Amino acid sequence: MSTVHGRLRLLSNRVLPELQAAHNGGAPEPQHSTPVYIDPMTKEGNVCAGCGSPLTFLSKPNFGAGQLKDGGRVCRRCFARIVEVVPSFGMRSKKDHTKASIQAILEPAPHTTQTTMGIDSPTGNQHKEPTDDPVPFLLNALRTGQGKKEALDAAHRAHERWWAIDVSDREHSMEELNELLELRAFVLGAVATVCVWNSEFGIADHLQPTFIHHAALWSGERRDTIELYIIHLIFQKQWPRLDAIFEDEPLKAAFLDYHDLYRSVLDPHYAFQSKQDPFLNTVNKVNQYCRQIGVQRLI
């Protein structure tokens, strides 16, 4: 199988010109190889329900956030504005909100933005921690790479709130209980990622079994939960912890591209197991996330 050196030659031709152009503020020199595997503008009609801007990789909230119950979705910028008014929006957008309801929230104030790490964000509130629901704040901190210590405080409060859930208020259907369990796994996965970011590995180890094998987080929009956890473990060079995670063969198969990314960072002579296109897609996605939060790209 080909090694990382062969793949890096491909990356030089297909990935790095795009990233270099973004850093330099210009267009890359014309390339005659296959187009770069990055997320394009989404299909017609897939635009933010709040402001109408196209939903792209950089403009969509991570973790599948911002989805509405009528099928729409909001961009990062509108998401941040909404949670300032309705803190529970981050967790209940798909259950409680529609295009009409979020436009009613957004309508009173026009966008006032500043550009940070390549994305637009509301002016002056990046580090303001909510007093009620800590989850939207810690999710936004993971997206932007800002408010590291404040995010850890929010993560501790979210851990306390979501570790044990009281469902004794009424009788719940099995569907509701399963949805609640998925939401709990999602939140605790984000909490564990913030703990890794802040080098609190003991808490992350304690939380990991609650989400790492949750099937609903292995596919779809919330797959980002586990992907970001793995990425932050790579950032922190937690090789034994990553080895232990990927000893699970089903998980390794489901996240083979991330396994190969981790092994290539650790060993430049590693022979890849995943197919080329999924691997290049993952490299592009991770490198754009690195740019987004202001850290050096992994490859």
Answer whether 86's CB lies under 8 Å from 66's CB. no
pLDDT score, position 132:
67
pLDDT score, position 2:
43
The tens digit of pLDDT for each residue in 57-68 reads 667 886 677 889
Answer whether 230's CB lies under 8 Å from 242's CB. yes
The tens digit of pLDDT for each residue in 16-30 reads 344 344 444 444 444
Of the pLDDT bands very low, low, confident and very high (cuts 50, 70, 90), residue 192 is very high
Asked whether residue 43 carries a pLDDT value surpassing 60, the answer given is no
The tens digit of pLDDT for each residue in 228-247 reads 999 999 999 999 999 999 99
The tens digit of pLDDT for each residue in 142-156 reads 988 999 999 999 999
pLDDT score, position 108:
54
pLDDT score, position 173:
84
Minimum mean pLDDT among 7-21, 38-52, 86-100, 249-263: which range?
7-21
Provide, rounded to the nearest whole percent, the portion of the chain with pLDDT above 90. Answer: 34
Asked whether residue 248 carries a pLDDT value surpassing 60, the answer given is yes
Of the pLDDT bands very low, low, confident and very high (cuts 50, 70, 90), residue 80 is confident
